[in-house]
């Protein structure tokens, strides 16, 4: 059974230099403070039929990338892979990126052969477990995260992202940069501005 699609939008800011069609999947295994997709995470959405998404895909000549975001797409495991395969058949000309928090590296490995990159969120210095867990409000497994970084860094369209949360100091951002310069395979690290959630 395929994942439900919560919403679809076109974006010029999600990937550098690309016009992306972003497909949002609901639910997440983290409970991050200041989550910007809280309603999605809590399952408050009106489902977009797959047929509607595919119909729009066929007719949208502006986009030059597909992004599967969330929520956390990797919680769907094999179902996520099935969705990716359908998108590949429909628009094999477009690179596909999956956004992830890096908590499920085994799923990332399964889908890595079918996509072109990940956007992996690095929410705090990964070597500072307590700080990371304060943000995600879940247990943080560094070993799994390292696996996720390794898998992501092997794909051409991967980016790493950090929100400039008010509670992250400049030295914290520096630690994240240092971590990624060592383990991130030279992939871009993008610092996104922080905006207060509306709810």
E-assigned strand segments in the chain? 7-11, 20-24, 65-69, 96-100, 117-121, 159-163, 189-192
* pTM, to two decimals: 0.95
Q: 7-192 maps to which CATH number?
A: 3.20.20.70
Give yes or no for residue 198 having a pLDDT over 80: no
pLDDT tens digits for range 49-93: 999 999 988 888 889 999 999 999 999 999 999 999 999 999 999
pLDDT tens digits for range 132-148: 999 999 999 999 999 99
Rounded CA gap, 50 and 58, in Å? Answer: 13
pLDDT tens digits for range 161-173: 999 999 999 999 9
Query: What are the tokens at 173?
Result: 């951002």
pLDDT band, residue 199 (cuts 50/70/90): low
Rounded CA gap, 96 and 108, in Å? Answer: 13
pLDDT band, residue 34 (cuts 50/70/90): confident
Contact 155, 170 (CB under 8 A): no
Dihedral sign (CA 122, 103, 14, 151): positive
Q: What is the DSSP pairing of strand 96-100 with strand 65-69?
A: parallel
């Amino acid at each position: 059974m395929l994942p439900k699609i919560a919403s679809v939008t076109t974006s010029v800011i999600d990937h550098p230099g690309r016009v992306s069609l972003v497909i949002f999947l609901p639910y997440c295994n983290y409970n991050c403070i200041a989550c910007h997709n809280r309603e999605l995470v809590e399952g408050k959405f009106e489902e977009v039929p797959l047929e509607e998404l595919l119909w729009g895909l066929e007719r949208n000549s502006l986009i030059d990338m597909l992004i599967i975001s969330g929520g956390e797409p990797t919680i769907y495991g094999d179902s996520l892979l099935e969705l990716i395969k359908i998108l590949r058949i429909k628009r094999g000309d477009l690179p596909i990126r999956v956004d992830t928090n890096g908590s499920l590296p085994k799923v990332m490995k399964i889908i890595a052969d079918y996509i072109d990159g990940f956007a992996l969120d690095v929410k705090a210095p990964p070597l500072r477990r307590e700080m990371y867990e304060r943000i995600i409000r879940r247990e943080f497994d560094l070993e799994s995260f390292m696996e996720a970084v390794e898998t992501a860094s092997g794909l051409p369209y991967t980016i790493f992202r950090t929100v400039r949360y008010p509670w992250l100091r400049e030295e914290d951002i520096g630690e994240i940069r240092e971590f990624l310069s060592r383990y991130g395979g030279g992939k871009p690290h993008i610092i996104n501005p922080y905006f207060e959630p509306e709810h």
